[in-house]
Amino acid sequence: MLPCWVVRAGTMEYGVALSLQRSLLAARRSGLIDNVLLILEHPPTYTIGRRLRASDHLLYGEETLKARGIRVYETDRGGDITCHGPGQLVGYTIFDIAAWYQDVYRYLRDLEAVIIGLLDEFGIAARRLEGITGVWVEDRKVAALGIRVSRWFAMHGFSLNVHPDLTLYDGIVPCGIADREVTSLERILGRPVAMEEVETSLLHHLGKVFDMSFEEMTLSELQQRV
């Protein structure tokens, strides 16, 4: 089994998380650290994938963004515009995917398989949609994926809606798909869902799909190793 360090980083501003990912990626490429999974939440944030203009799918103007406390970032991952906020589980995977294969498409499908397995554990039948990256329950999106792979080292990852404020999605065309809605575990199940329960299931299915074992550490311990 391949080792993976897990850090539950709490709530972290997106720009800080992006800087941390980049430093971890450099350390992973140099062989200084093992694979790393960052589990965290963001304050209200919109992120825009490379090659997309902010004006294309960002619906809120500056005044509304400021009033709602939403920050906007252009980033270097693939994909379109997406939303982050409290109550959404974000997983950043600093992985050497060449340890498994050299296939970005398969890597995305395996990340989707992790989330589909997690949702099945909660009694939710989730699926993929042909040609659209992400995880869906019926025709509603519950998880988004966006990665960057360079020389088979990956960063960024996925976000799963556990119990976020879904009105944050009113300000964007999520992932550029105008005719589909978003949902959350809490909305699907009609009951509260503890983030810790979801994180435990995530590690189980991530370990199963990628044949990994996990060592948990604090953010400060990780930074000391980098």
Helix (H, G, I), strand (E, B) or coil at 5: strand
Max Cα separation, the chain?
50
Q: How many residues does the chain have?
A: 226
Check if the beta carbon of residue 38 is closer than 8 Å to that of residue 72: no
- Of the residues 175, 188, 198, 202, only one is catalytic, namely 175
Which has the closest alpha carbon to 83: 113, 121, 51, 47? 47
Alpha carbons 87 and 169: distance in angstroms, whole number = 13
Check if the beta carbon of residue 140 is closer than 8 Å to that of residue 182: yes
Catalytic status, residue 4? no
Active site residues: 175
